[in-house]
């Protein structure tokens, strides 16, 4: 088994270019955007940075090159994502949710669906194209995300239904918490992938499918959620009220297998969430280190010259390094095993976020 933590020249260039974007384009806007009390206006303040990310190939870097994407491996994605997360993990989440919304179309969609959705995302002349991912439902409801795979009968599990009516599916129900779905104006993303129950009598994982709900679909409304953190990624509540969606929008390979989509996305997002935690911890560490080089606490020298502050900072630095390599390992595993890494993905997500809390607080 070869273990190598040395980045290639191409990976170093990717890291450097993404860091330059994060520091020079994103950083100047995030403080005021994050302080904006109205969540939609705060999100809109990042629009020009998002367009710059789109033009730089960042916004859809995870999609395959054959459909106009960046074609990054999971390892490369994680390397780039850390640089954005170190400046603002909310903005990074906005970008990375594009992958949660469209990678399933690449995995399971037919060729017409891949052409229609992936190429539209990567060829938008405005650079504003954004994709939502809708699985979560209101907390405490039978369809709460944690219950999607509970092996119990109806009504446990996903509650939003999609009933076939001729050449359409009729959607009813509520989603709560999904990212990006409201788009730039709160009236809808360009498109969103929505996990629904196409078998209304099934419970748990039975009869789940994924369908693309495009902007402007009648019967779909959005209400943005005002959050304490991650304010620069837009989360919303969605209400489906007899919303009619073309049957051709059902992602072909997910029919009756929507639980597999959720599991695979959870696996993919494990190191993504992990590296977000690494980025936040790194930013906190770098700030504390700079402060320790100047703060004297009334003494003759900055506190960095004393043992205990050095011990604390050294401990934090070691934890960040370990978490980063766990993210790389997890991403490499997904690259080698065709994204099937539910266990290691979950371990990475949990361990790295716990590390971040230990380091920051």
- DSSP string over 216-256: T-TTEEEEE---SS-TTS-EEEEEEEEEEEEGGGB-GGGTT
Q: Look at residue 307 in the predicted model and tell me its pLDDT.
A: 95
Q: Look at residue 239 in the predicted model and tell me its pLDDT.
A: 98
Asked if CATH classification 3.40.1160.10 holds for the domain at 131-257, the reply, yes or no, is no
CB atoms within 10 A of CB 166: 8
Q: Look at residue 5 in the predicted model and tell me its pLDDT.
A: 85
Predicted confidence pLDDT, tens digits, the chain (361 residues):
467 889 999 999 999 999 999 999 999 999 999 999 999 999 999 999 999 999 999 999 999 999 999 999 999 999 999 999 999 999 999 999 999 999 999 999 999 999 999 999 999 999 999 999 999 998 766 655 556 777 777 777 899 999 999 999 999 999 999 999 999 999 999 999 999 999 988 877 889 999 999 999 999 999 999 999 899 999 999 999 999 999 999 999 999 999 999 999 999 999 999 999 999 999 999 999 999 999 999 999 999 999 999 999 999 999 999 999 999 999 999 999 976 799 999 999 999 999 999 999 8
Q: Look at residue 17 in the predicted model and tell me its pLDDT.
A: 98
Q: H or E segment at 91?
A: helix 89-108
Q: Look at residue 339 in the predicted model and tell me its pLDDT.
A: 66
Q: Look at residue 3 in the predicted model and tell me its pLDDT.
A: 75
The residues, ordered by sequence, that sit 6+ positions from 344 with a Cβ below 8 Å of its Cβ are 267, 270, 329, 330, 333
> What would be the CATH architecture of the domain defined by 260-360?
Up-down Bundle (1.20)
Which residue in 196, 202, 245, 203 sits closest to 220, CA to CA?
245
Q: Look at residue 189 in the predicted model and tell me its pLDDT.
A: 99
Per the CB < 8 A criterion, the answer to whether 330 and 270 are in contact is yes
CB atoms within 10 A of CB 123: 11
Cis ω before 61 (30° cut-off from 0): no
Q: Look at residue 1 in the predicted model and tell me its pLDDT.
A: 45
State how far the Cα of 359 lies from the Cα of 355, in Å rounded to an integer: 6
Q: Look at residue 145 in the predicted model and tell me its pLDDT.
A: 56
For the chain, what percentages of helix, strand and coil (3-state, to nearest 5) are there? 50, 15, 35
pTM: 0.95
Asked if CATH classification 1.20.1090.10 holds for the domain at 9-122, the reply, yes or no, is no
* Residue 177 three-state SS: strand
Tokens of 335: 């690259």
Q: Do domains 131-257 and 260-360 have the same CATH topology?
A: no
* Residue 165 three-state SS: strand
Per the CB < 8 A criterion, the answer to whether 236 and 136 are in contact is no
What is the residue extent of each domain of the chain?
9-122, 131-257, 260-360
- Beta strands at 235-246 and 191-197: parallel, antiparallel or unpaired: unpaired
State how far the Cα of 330 lies from the Cα of 138, in Å rounded to an integer: 30
């Amino acid at each position: 088994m070869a273990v190598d933590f040395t980045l290639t020249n191409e990976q170093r260039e990717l890291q450097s270019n993404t860091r330059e974007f994060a520091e020079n384009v994103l950083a100047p806007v995030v403080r005021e955007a994050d302080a904006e009390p109205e969540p939609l206006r705060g999100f809109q303040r990042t629009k020009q940075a998002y367009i710059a990310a789109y033009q730089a190939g960042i916004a859809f870097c995870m999609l395959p090159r054959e459909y106009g994407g960046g074609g990054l491996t999971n390892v490369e994605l994680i390397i780039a994502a850390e640089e954005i997360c170190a400046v603002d993990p909310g903005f990074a989440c906005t970008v990375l949710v594009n992958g949660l919304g469209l990678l399933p179309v690449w995995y399971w969609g037919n060729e017409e669906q891949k052409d229609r959705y992936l190429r539209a995302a990567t060829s938008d002349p405005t650079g504003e194209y954004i994709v939502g991912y809708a699985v979560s439902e209101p907390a405490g409801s039978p369809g709460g995300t944690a219950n999607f795979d509970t092996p119990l009968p109806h009504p446990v599990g996903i509650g939003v239904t999609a009933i076939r009516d001729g050449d359409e599916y009729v959607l009813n129900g509520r989603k709560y918490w999904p990212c990006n779905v409201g788009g730039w104006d709160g009236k809808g993303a360009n498109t969103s992938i929505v996990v629904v129950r196409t078998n209304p009598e099934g419970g748990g994982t039975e009869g789940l499918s994924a369908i693309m709900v495009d902007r402007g679909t009648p019967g779909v409304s959005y209400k943005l959620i005002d959050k304490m953190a991650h304010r620069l990624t837009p989360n919303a509540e969605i209400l489906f009220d007899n919303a009619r969606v073309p049957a051709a929008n059902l992602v072909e390979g997910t029919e009756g297998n929507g639980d597999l989509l959720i599991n695979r996305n959870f696996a993919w997002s494990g190191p993504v969430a992990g590296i977000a935690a690494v980025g936040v911890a790194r930013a906190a560490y770098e700030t504390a280190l700079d402060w320790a080089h100047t703060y004297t606490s009334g003494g003759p020298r900055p506190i960095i010259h004393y043992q205990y502050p050095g011990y604390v900072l050294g401990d934090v630095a070691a934890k960040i390094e370990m978490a980063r390599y766990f993210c790389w390992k997890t991403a490499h595993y997904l690259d080698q095993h065709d994204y099937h890494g539910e266990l290691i993905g979950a371990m990475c997500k949990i361990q790295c976020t716990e590390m971040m809390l230990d380091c920051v607080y």
